[in-house]
A and B are shown apart, each in its own frame.
Chain A
Amino acid sequence: MITGIPLSWFLILGAALFCIGVFGVLANRNLIVIMMSVELMLNAVVLNLVAFARFMEPARITGKAFAIIVYATAAAEAALGLALTVAIWRTENTVTIEEIDLLQG
Chain B
Amino acid sequence: MYLGQLIFLIVGCVMVAAAIRVVTSHRIFHAALWLIASFFCVAIVYMLLESPFMAGIQLFIYIGGIAVLTVVAIMVTKDAMSADSRTVSNGWSAAIVAISLFGVMAWTIVQLDLPTEPGMPVSGDSLPLLGAALVDPGGYLLPFEVVSVLLTVVLIGALFLGREH
- Asked if A pairs with B, the answer is yes
- Which residues of B, 1-53, contact A by the 8 Å Cβ criterion? 2-5, 7-8, 12, 15-16, 19-20, 22-23, 28, 31-32, 35, 38-39, 42, 45-46, 48-51, 53
Residue of B nearest to A49 (CB): B54
**A79–B158 Cα gap in the complex (Å)?**
7
Q: How far does the Cβ of A3 sit from chain B's closest Cβ, in whole Å?
A: 6
Interface size on A, residues (CB 8 A): 74
Instruction: Note all chain B residues with C-beta closer than 8 A to A5.
Output: 2, 4-5, 8, 48
B154 at the interface (CB under 8 A from A): yes
**B interface footprint on A72-89 (CB within 8 Å = 1, 0 otherwise):** 111110111011111101
**A interface footprint on B51-84 (CB within 8 Å = 1, 0 otherwise):** 1011001000110011001101110110111000
Q: How far does the Cβ of B79 sit from chain A's closest Cβ, in whole Å?
A: 7
**A interface footprint on B79-107 (CB within 8 Å = 1, 0 otherwise):** 11100011111110111011101100110
Interface majority SS (helix, strand, loop, mixed), chain B: helix
Interface majority SS (helix, strand, loop, mixed), chain A: helix
Instruction: Note all chain B residues with C-beta closer than 8 A to A84.
Output: 161
Q: How far does the Cβ of B93 sit from chain A's closest Cβ, in whole Å?
A: 8
Instruction: Note all chain A residues with C-beta closer than 8 A to B54.
Output: 46, 50, 64, 67
Residue of A nearest to B16 (CB): A16
Contact in complex: A95, B134 (CB < 8 Å) = no
Contact in complex: B109, A54 (CB < 8 Å) = no
Instruction: Pick 17 A–B contacts, CB within 8 A, sort by A.
Output: A16-B16, A26-B97, A27-B90, A28-B89, A29-B89, A30-B85, A30-B86, A33-B31, A36-B31, A40-B38, A46-B42, A47-B42, A60-B122, A69-B144, A75-B61, A79-B155, A82-B72
